[in-house]
A and B are shown apart, each in its own frame.
Chain A
Amino acid sequence: MSEPAIHLALANQKRSYGPGIWALVLILLATLLTYHGLQALMPSTLWWQGLWNPDLNDARQVLLHYSFAPRLLVSLMVGAALGLAGTLFQQVLRNPLAEPVTLGVAGGANLGLSVATIWAPGLLVHGLEGVTLVGAGLATLALFGFAWSKTLSPLRFILAGMVISLYCNALNSLLVLFNHDYLIDLLLWQAGSLNQSGWDGVTYLAPRLAVAAIIAGLLARPLAALSLEDQNAASLGVSLRTTRTLSLLVAVALSAFVTSAVGIIGFVGLAAPAIARLSGARTLRQRLIWAPLMGAALLCLVDQCARELSRFVGEVPAGILTAVFSVPLLLWLLKRQRSGGIVSSSRSTLRQLNNPGRLIGIATVLLLVLAIPAIGLGLGMHGWQWSNPIDLSGVAQWRLPRVLGSLCAGAMLAVAGFLVQRMTGNPMASPEVLGASSGAALGVMILFLLVPHPQALMVPAASAGAMITLGLLLWFGWRSAFSPERLLLTGVCLTTLLGALGTLMMASGDPRMTLLMSWMTGSTYHVDGPAATTALVVAGAMLIVSLLLSRPLDLLTLGNGSASALGLPLRLSHLAILLTAAVLTATATLVVGPLSFVGLIAPHIARRLGIRKAAPNILLSAIIGALIMLLADWLGRNIAYPWPISAGLLAAFIGCPYFLWLMHRERT
């Protein structure tokens, strides 16, 4: 055998053993932990009896039979199901960020559960499955309804999915806030716990997973053709639409089954296919086999860790640990990946406005005019009342800072959203993607965990959290030369990690967490004079900075290569844009909590109104963001008087449907 041939053979060998070794490591660790758990439960002589024919007077055997064993099996099945669902989603949508959670399917299922719990607990007598399936089904229908177009564009799908996910989560948070006696339960469900109290979960999941796996196997060949360009695949005689639709249906059904059985387990659907792919499974057939295996091993390992941990620190839902374990792994794998077009912006042909100045002028006047009744008009004990909007001894002392704070926060988030979207060339990006808002929220949560009376330290803690996250992001970004794709993925990873830890703390049952919850959904209640003034100063300054960045922002739309050829210092401009967006996000987060709705939606509305150039786009985004938040804050104070509804939630109610409608209209 010649030397090159040996090299080739070695390379092939390395390639084909890659996923096997990874899976083996995961499985070995999971087995060790499982064995340790069993050993701690009872001596091995009783295992067989406990498993098949337990003596019900022996508490240990009851635990093995009704809790330990079904939980182990469920973790394996859920992991496999999520790995399979993720692979299918990613293959069909050609986006490694696609998974049940980012597509809104899991969010819909979760919302179904909340609605049933609060208004129709009778429905739950038949089990959680029915209502979660209906919720997931409706979310999927909405996804198809809004994103369906002639070509079933993958990007549209993800975008619509993320917006639907936001909408479902907003609705869910609202339900939780108004029914906070259910808070812990609903949050725990959202956190994804694999605890079992019998064999129901196993007997529910097993047949469904088997059917889905068989269909996926049958779809493997036509699906592989999807990797080719649409036209090539069509010329091979593959029915694109049928294959895609069927695969999506299987993936959606799998996500719904998982959510109805154990709640929302994020990240396995993202991590398992990524690990499989990056550790060497190249072809679709390989990935369809290895991703579910990786998923099963990963989730089993994580859940065994969760079980061990829960002996020391109280219940730890597996969904949260999944994120904690997967993120460093994924970041490490990401580092090794050759850069390639993970996401690319589809430059759709939108109408372009010739005179954006007039539009901006009208919007500004509208904002100023609406601000007056927003302060002056409100419900009181005896119905609607008009109060002097500038008399600071009356209600204006509370309303003025709130209105000012919401305006500025909306504007800041919108500009930050625009910057991130332009820089990454990704319309799905939002300030939330930067992780800065999650970081701020986490800082506050850790403070609540450590200090009995934390209220006075909230602002410093939030700043510290945002700055640490930002520092990490900058570090990762610097290492990858601020490649937009990596930055986006890194940001998503950090956000997932922080969000997961946050949910764990919220689910801990501490009554003070309700306060955090209201802040996290974007309440403007706590905005006082100094906070509003700070917001105003920062918003003004950063708006100017953003406008100064408009030339690099315009050049970046040509693509990194062209921008660089035109003399743009890429790394420097990326750093400047990132820093600006981060400061905007952190300030806005401190004022109104880590809501991302406005940051995602306002720049899109501006773009879809026909603005292309960066400078007018920044201005119009800011005004639209401010308008949305102004309206949301006013509605929030009056809709359920004397109860408040967080402005962030209402912004989602106003913004999401409008955004989806715009998207829907644009396809025709």
Chain B
Amino acid sequence: MPLTRRHLLQQLALGSLAMASGIASATATAKTALPALAASSDPLRRIIAINWAAAETLLTLGVSPLAISDGGYYSRRMPTAALPPQVLDVGPYWEPNLELIKELQPQLILSDQMPPSIERALKGIAPTEVVDIYPAPGSVWTSATDFMTRLAARLELQPQAAAWIAAGNARFEELRGQLAQRPQPPVCVAVLNQDGRHATVYGKRSMIQDVLDRLGLVNAWQGPSSTMGIALIGIERLAENPDAHLLYTEIPTTSARLQSLRQVNALWENLPAVRRGNTLELSKFFPYGGAAATLNLAEWIAAYLNGRGENEHV
């Protein structure tokens, strides 16, 4: 695998730190290099992460969770660090298997918001922290990094977390600076439905809005959105802002369906963004990830826009 500078940066941002850190320190990009995170001898390592953002944060800190919820789907949706194969599955996040969780004897449970009875049951098994990154009161990046700091304090990994967050903040500034060099179009991030007629877009309080704000970009979706920052729309509404660039993803297993629809989907073909080639397909994208997923989205958006900028100069 050729190791280009961009590829390396991506790897770093993706949190595959253990693999890349040795090489990174030797390169000229030392200022963005993030510290290696070896698992310490601290005993607090038996952690069950029902919440995916928490699972991702653990992996970012170099700690492999004992078990997570819905592992198979996690691997298909999460763009950042891969799930180690030994991580167990405790069932869906809305009904994690209490009996299995008890059998696993965790030291810490990182849970979603649960009904009171289930929260009590979890707390009866092990100390339980309810992850409240979403819905973020202000910025997703802030609430995700705050969570990382809190979690790192519990795991005695504060220096690593602080360094990662500092590097992440620096990276955001760097990307913002790069993008500010030329005028940028509005950006729309969408998850397309398999019926070819609908898409989910993201507004206030969403990870996407926060990333765009931090990069100094404009969200092409200015319409209403729900408490969780999402809106379901017909794809014709993607044409409302003809200058917008469209970054879209589809649930991996449905791509065949979408491909077939696109061949006959006259409206999609004639959307301004598609006609002008102002689109990028994101391979994996999960709008409720942690700090690493947030930074990762920023990297993708910046890489796409910078790439276009270079082409226009040629």
Contact = CB atoms under 8 A, between A and B. Distances in A.
Contact of A188 (B98, B100, B103, B198): B198
B46 interface: no
B176 interface: no
B265 A381 contact: no
Nearest to A448: B227
Given A188-B232, A644-B95, A395 B267 contact: no
Interface stretch (B13-21, B58-66, B148-156, B218-226): B218-226
Given A198-B264, A509-B232, A528-B117, A313 B224 contact: yes
B89 interface: yes
B288 interface: yes
Interface stretch (A269-277, A406-414, A452-460): A452-460
B232 A381 contact: no
A122 B255 CA distance: 10
Given A121-B257, A642-B97, A200 B270 contact: no
Contact of A124 (B90, B240, B260): B260
A527 B116 CA distance: 11
Interface string B112-131: 01111111110000000000
A512 B92 CA distance: 12
B73 A181 contact: yes
B89 to A, nearest CB: 7
Nearest to A68: B236
B195 interface: yes
A507 B232 contact: yes
Interface in B226-258: 226-228, 230-237, 239-240, 242, 251, 253-254, 256-257
A66 B267 CA distance: 5
B104 interface: yes
A515 B228 CA distance: 15
Interface string A502-531: 000001111110110110000101111001
Contacts of B231: 314-315, 509
Interface in B35-85: 73, 76-77
B272 interface: yes
A483 interface: no
B257 A56 contact: no
A642 B227 contact: no
Contacts of A189: 195
Contacts of A515: 94
B31 interface: no
Contact of B260 (A63, A66, A125): A125
A195 B236 contact: yes
A196 interface: yes
B265 A198 contact: yes
B313 interface: no
A643 to B, nearest CB: 5
Interface string B250-283: 0101101100100011111011100100000000
Contacts of A458: 115
Nearest to A504: B232
B225 A314 contact: yes
Contact of A518 (B94, B114, B253, B256): B94
A193 B198 contact: yes
Nearest to A518: B94
A482 to B, nearest CB: 37
Contacts, number: 184
Nearest to A54: B270
B270 A117 contact: no
Contacts of A380: 99-100, 103
A201 B7 CA distance: 44
Interface in A363-411: 378, 380-381, 395, 398
Given A66-B270, A510-B228, A526-B115, A197 B288 contact: no
A124 B194 CA distance: 10
B266 A198 contact: yes
B216 interface: no
B233 A531 contact: no
Contacts of B233: 310, 314-315
A310 B236 CA distance: 11
Contacts of B92: 177, 180, 514, 518, 643-644
A52 interface: no
A196 B198 CA distance: 10
A195 B275 CA distance: 21
Contacts of B73: 180-181
Interface residues of A, number: 67
B91 interface: yes
Interface string A51-89: 000001101001100111000000000000000000000
B91 A642 contact: yes
A197 B133 CA distance: 36
A381 B66 CA distance: 14
Contacts of B234: 67, 193, 195, 310, 315
Nearest to B124: A397
B197 interface: yes
Nearest to B287: A511
Contact of A56 (B103, B120, B270): B270
A124 B196 CA distance: 12
A449 interface: yes
A511 B95 contact: no
B98 A117 contact: no
B1 to A, nearest CB: 29
Given A56-B275, A398-B121, A528-B121, A198 B97 contact: no
A59 B239 contact: yes
A478 interface: no
Interface in B160-215: 193-198, 200
A406 to B, nearest CB: 15
B116 A121 contact: no
B241 to A, nearest CB: 9
Given A378-B99, A395-B102, A509-B230, A59 B117 contact: no
Contacts of B224: 312-314
B135 interface: yes
Nearest to A646: B95
Contact of A642 (B89, B260, B266, B272): B89
Contacts of B194: 117, 124, 182, 185
Interface string A196-229: 1111100000000000000000000000000000
B197 A59 contact: no
Contacts of B76: 181
A641 B100 CA distance: 9
Interface string A553-573: 000000000000000000000
Contacts of A517: 94
A284 to B, nearest CB: 37
A609 interface: no
A449 B225 CA distance: 11
B270 A510 contact: no
A331 interface: no
A641 B266 CA distance: 45
B149 to A, nearest CB: 22
A575 interface: no
A241 to B, nearest CB: 39
Contacts of A182: 194, 251, 254
Interface of B: 73, 76-77, 89-95, 97-100, 102-104, 113-121, 132, 135, 193-198, 200, 223-228, 230-237, 239-240, 242, 251, 253-254, 256-257, 260, 264-268, 270-272, 275, 288
20 contacts: A59-B240, A59-B242, A62-B267, A63-B239, A121-B257, A124-B256, A177-B92, A182-B251, A182-B254, A193-B197, A193-B198, A198-B264, A314-B231, A315-B198, A449-B226, A449-B227, A455-B116, A456-B115, A509-B231, A510-B228
Given A185-B198, A310-B233, 9 more contacts: A62-B267, A62-B270, A197-B236, A198-B265, A198-B267, A455-B114, A507-B232, A509-B226, A525-B118
Q: What are the 6 A-B residue pairs with the smallest beta carbon separation, nearest first?
A: A197-B267, A198-B266, A528-B117, A642-B97, A66-B267, A125-B260
